[in-house]
Amino acid sequence: MSHSYKQIFENNKQWIEKKLGEDSNFFDKLAEGQSPEYLYIGCSDSRATAEELMGLKPGEVFVHRNIANVVNTLDMSSTAVIEYAVSHLKVKHIIVCGHYGCGGVKAAMTPQDLGLLNPWLRNIRDVYRLHKEELDAIQDEKARYNRLIELNVQEQCINVVKMACVQERYIQEHYPIVHGWVFDLKTGKLIDLEIDFEKILNDIQKIYDLTNTKWGMGKSQNKNLK
């Protein structure tokens, strides 16, 4: 083992000691089960950790991470995570979180053959295609790059809303609510893109409605869903 690899186990010992010092029953409680309120779908980038930047503890957030925080309904990994979080863990909030400086989004903007990454990055290139007019109007390359990162988060939120488990449970329980965030690596701030979840659901209902209950049934129902 290299020195840095061994250090991880030393760090683990120190972490255990710290947790037991704070609460002698910490690991007994941890082993009892989980009931997180949040599902966090983020990028695999090593700089954009979930629990740490959110200030949450073990057991408080269910996490899925992949390159450029993509939610592709043909990807069994992300869809299985969402299904489990929504239908079994009963999370109240689903957060899609991108970050400025995302290498995956930057790679998608680059016209080169990236091998196995090509079909994955095509999801982001599709986002560019959908918003080409807006993005091409941005002269500054960095600003255009940052805007694509934000639009990618927005489109992945829409992909989450398309899922039947999300639609069905929201109509029945008014949860989960989908949010779009961006993490700014330079400042450490989480930026809420203020995704209008209900408007998205209303807009896509006629096409992606996978339930027997119609979203826009009337003013009385809409009031109850606020």
Q: Whose structure tokens read 């995570």?
A: 81
Q: Quick check: is 129 catalytic? A: no
Catalytic residue among 64, 88, 97, 102: 102
Concerning whether 99 is annotated as a catalytic residue, the answer is: yes
Pairing between β-strand 61-66 and β-strand 38-43 as defined by DSSP bridges: parallel
- In whole angstroms, give the CA distance from residue 206 to residue 210: 9
Asked whether the beta carbons of 143 and 107 are under 8 A apart, the reply is no
CA quadruple 10, 13, 15, 21: dihedral, nearest 10: -140
64, 97, 99, 165: the catalytic one is 99
Q: Is 102 a catalytic residue?
A: yes
Tell me, yes or no, if 157 is annotated catalytic.
Answer: no
Which one, of 47, 170, 171, lies nearest residue 97 by Cα?
Answer: 47
Given the residues 23, 47, 136, 174, select the one marked as catalytic: 47
Q: Spot the catalytic one: 3, 23, 28, 45.
A: 45
Q: Active-site residue numbers? A: 43, 45, 47, 99, 102
